[in-house]
Structures are given as C-alpha cells and as structure tokens.
Amino acid sequence: MGFDQIAIALLGAAAAWLSQARSLSSRRWACVFGLMGQPFWFYTAWHTAQWGLVAVSLIYLVAWLRGLWLYWLTPHGEPQDSGLGTIQLTPGRGL
C-alpha cells in the first residue's frame, strides 16, 4: 500500500467522521480534511489512468469547496439553522 492510498484512507475517514459530528465546530473541519485528501485522489486517478475516478474526484472537490465556503469563507460566519428539528425516540416508551 502506497503513501497515497494511506492518505486517501485516513483523510477520507476523518472527513466522513467529522461530517457526522454533533457539534458544528467539529463538522466544519470535515471539508478541510476532505480537501486535504483531494490531491491524493487526483494523483492516484491520473497515475492509474482511471478517468472515471478523475470525474468523481472533481465532483467531490466541488462538494468539499462548498463546505469550505459555507463554514469558513462566508461573511455570515456559521451557516444559518434551517429551523428543522430532529425526532427523538425514547427507549422503553410505546407509541
């Protein structure tokens, strides 16, 4: 396993993990780790001539850049809350 594959695995897992965090301060780091992994994705895709992977990497790049824009570069700071709540089911309580 090469360094590029290790970087893809670690940075991708960190980005996915952080994107599911409960706190906004943790979630905002997901795009940073995702963007740090993109050069390794592009190198691997180019080196192996997997052009479909290049296309998918471009799509992910746009998605991570959107996170960078929303969480780090917008003049409003943190993204606005949509006002939607979550459903919580308490264990042991019947409907």
Contact 9, 20 (CB under 8 A): no
90 in a domain, yes or no? no
For the record, the structure tokens of 83 come out as: 């006002």
What pLDDT, on a 0 to 100 scale, did the predictor assign at position 80?
Answer: 60
Per the domain annotation, does 53 fall within a domain? yes
Highest mean pLDDT among 8-12, 21-25, 80-84: 8-12
- Which DSSP symbol is given to 81? P
Residue recorded with tokens 């409907």: 95
Return the DSSP state at 80: P
- Supply the pTM of this predicted model: 0.76
82/62 Cα distance (integer angstroms):
22
Read off the pLDDT of residues 19-61 as tens digits, 9 standing for 90 and up. 999 999 999 999 999 999 999 999 999 999 999 999 999 999 9
Tell me whether residue 23 is in a domain.
yes
Name the residue range of residue 49's domain.
Answer: 3-73
44, part of any domain: yes
- Number of domains the chain contains: 1
Tokens describing residue 60 = 């992910």
Asked whether residue 93 is domain-assigned, the answer is no
